Structure 1
Amino acid sequence: MLFCGHNEFTEIQIFDILLKDPELSNEVLGAIDKAIPYPIFFRLCYEGRIKGVAAYKRMAVDGSGKWLVDEYFATEWTDSTNPAMSLPVALDLKTLYEQMLFMYIDLSPREGEALETLVERIKLIRKYRRELQALEAKMNCEKQFNRKVELNARLEHINHMVKSDLIRVAVFEGKHIRKIMNEGEWWFSVVDIVEVLTGSNIPKRYWSDLKRKLAKEGYSELYDKIVQLKFVAADGKYYATDCANPETMFRIIQSIPSPKVEPLKQWLARVGYERLEEIENPEISMERMQALYEKKGYPKEWIDKRMRGIAVRQDLTDEWKTRGAKTSLEYAVLTNEIMQGAFDLKVDEYRQVKGLARENLRDHMTDIELILTMLGEATTTKLHRDRDSQGIEPLKKDAQEGGAVAGSTRRDIEKRSGKPVVTGENFKGLIGKRKKKIT
């Protein structure tokens, strides 16, 4: 394929590789990717089956013209006689490439999450999973009780990191910058940004010196505008660090001599503004989410139901927040009550039925499963309001009854249709049937 339209992406290449063995190391593909200065989608062919593999590939920002090869993503093996995939509609090759790569990634993006940020999040998750495997192996061999307790604590922490929303960083030119929502706007870790701009090995000392310099320059209100907010550290504990909102950060970085200052200012403006836009106008957030699902290849009818389900879920969690459910664990308990009543399955059990690991369960539901989930959650919301339920136990009772309403409907459907509603069908299977052959 040869197109024009973007100064970085002038060509996307498709490589067919005939295999004698179903396994091919990513190191081999990496050698090819590094030798060819264009994005490549590989089609691995073995005994009448095809598997797509591609890396996230982008041009270095230092002006060297060098292409950087990042994480690899792969489809499932599919029959080579399956219909060819239709290329996504895109105005330029860069957008086309990103939309194609989204189809290879089995982790759903968050609202407004760019491809680069999604890839960085996946790298962190993969890193934690590798560490989990290593720790589990050590646990099996360890004989000392105290050491086992220590290893188990680390295991629990990493599991928490993988399962929760703590793996949430902004990414600027491949570097992680921690951010946190505070009083309706994003606040960024000053030390992280100092490290990105300066490349310093001791960014905390640089920031300490810079604060004194800014005070001498007359920026006396700096200390009033810096807020200490807590981020989770590797040991699982929370530590306070200096944070600034985009406006204050703009002033700080003006005093740092770096060629990255202007690109970083644009990045901060974009990252901060997009979130504020979504707070002021939630429809923008929903539009971005819809666009991401379209990039992933979901049918429009399914996307419409998923969007409605997100709104119903938000309505429910808003009620929980004001009625006494405070922690993510309590939210999980209430959600499990609804799912148990509706489908006779807890969330983790449901994932197992669909062959999922940590993917978002609802992104792999069929239309009827989404509708029944909405019915259970909408009924629970109505019960909360009608009964003015307060506290976790009354909320749990409502959740059980809301789930039971959806469960009764499910059983009626199954009785009349003669088929189960809950199936192992998931979006990965849909992709395998419809979208994995590229020509």
Structure 2
Amino acid sequence: MLSLPQSTEFNKRIPKQKFYDNLSVTPELKRVFVEQISVIYWRNKLATSTLNVGQGENVIELEVFEIKLNQPSLDIRVLQLIDKEIPYHILYLLEYDGEYQAWIGYKESSLVKENTFKVNSYYHTEWLPQESISLRLDGLTMDAVYEGFIRQIAWRRLEVEEESTSGERIGLKEAVERDDKRQKLLKQIAAIENKVNLEKQFNKKVKLNTELKALRKELEGLK
């Protein structure tokens, strides 16, 4: 499916109980693990020891987890919990009824707790047949391999960030931060558009439209 080198194959089943028994999981989230997930496999381990690439400054290893689902969606809190507790970067392959989604988070080391991470944003593909999930293994370091996966999976959400005003390619961190701002603005715009449609008073509608115009202008500046 991903055509990764045989040297990276791990193919170990991970009992889902390991996640909700050993980590700080609420009863509600434990129920999500039980009801939404069928089985979890650790498919690949990408590292300098398994690939012919250099060590990264931020990425030591990148694990590939395949999660087989009992339904066509997964509560994102599951991925957030796993990413928070496992001190490596992770590419997820969600499978349901023979189709797959690739998920990956932009993951940074936590400044609060050593050996833990925070994920600011997740990116994912559409549901696709197995043969259509194709990710290139690009880059000479683990940092570059990780960035390549994010840019391929995020696709249009980050592709507009190709160059800065100086003509140089915008770094991944800045591209992700700008996309985060864009997504927040889109949500704000949608909420105010809904208020405009429901508002009956002319003066309030004018005020809302003024806010809407300002937000749309700010959004245009991020494109």
TM-score, length basis structure 1:
0.36
In the TM superposition, what is the alpha-carbon distance from 1:68 to its structure 2 partner?
2.0
Tell me if 1:110 matches 2:154: no
Instruction: Detail structure 1 runs of 4+ shifted over 6 Å in the superposition.
Output: none
Cα deviation, residue 20, structure 1: 2.0
Amino acid at match of 1:110: E
State the TM-score, normalized to the length of structure 2: 0.68
Deviation, 1:83, is 6.9
Q: CA offset at residue 61 of structure 1? A: 5.8
Which stretch has the larger CA shift, 122-131 or 65-74? 65-74
List runs of 5+ in structure 1 lacking aligned partners: 168-357, 359-439
Residue type of the partner of 2:204?
R
State the 1:81 CA deviation: 3.0
- For the residue of structure 2 that corresponds to 1:95, the secondary structure is helix
Question: Aligned residue pairs: how many?
Answer: 165
Per-residue CA deviation, residues 179-228 of structure 1 (Å, 9 max, x unaligned), is xxxxxxxxxxxxxxxxxxxxxxxxxxxxxxxxxxxxxxxxxxxxxxxxxx
Please tell me the residue identity of whatever aligns with 1:78.
L
Aligned to 2:146: 97
Residue matched to 1:43: 93
Trace 1:27-66 onto structure 2 (pairs within 5 A): 27-60=77-110, 64-66=114-116
What secondary structure does 2:92 align onto? strand
Say which structure is richer in helix: 1
* Distance of aligned partners of 1:138 and 1:63 in 2 relative to their CA distance in 1, 3 Å threshold: closer
Tell me, which stretches of 5 or more residues in structure 2 are unaligned?
1-44, 49-54, 164-168
SS at match of 1:97: helix
SS in structure 2 at match of 1:91: coil
% identity of equivalent residues? 30
Question: Within 2, Cα distance between the matches of 1:61 and 1:113?
Answer: 24
Question: For the structure 1 residues 29 and 20, does the alpha-carbon distance in structure 2 shift closer, same or farther, using more than 3 Å as the test?
Answer: same
Residue type of the partner of 1:67? F
Q: Superposition pairs for residues 3-402 of structure 1, below 5 Å?
A: 3-4=47-48, 5-60=55-110, 64-82=114-132, 84-88=134-138, 90-105=139-154, 106-107=156-157, 108=159, 109-111=161-163, 112-162=169-219, 164-165=220-221, 167=222
**Bigger strand fraction:** 2
Specify whether residues 10 and 137 from structure 1 end up closer, same or farther in structure 2 by C-alpha distance, changes over 3 A only.
same
Q: Secondary structure at the match of 1:101?
A: helix
Cα separation, 1, equivalents of 2:192 and 2:133:
43
Larger radius of gyration: 1
Measured against aligned partners, the alpha-carbon deviations of 1:352-380 in whole angstroms (never above 9, x if no partner) come to xxxxxx7xxxxxxxxxxxxxxxxxxxxxx
Distance across 2 between alignment mates of 1:117 and 1:97: 15
Amino acid of the structure 1 residue aligned with 2:162:
R
- Whole-Å separation in 1 of the counterparts to 2:130 and 2:116: 34
Distance 1:115 1:45, change over 3 A: same
Distance (whole Å) between structure 1 residues aligned to residue 133 and residue 199 of structure 2: 52
Change in CA separation of 1:40 and 1:65 when aligned onto 2, cut-off 3 Å = same
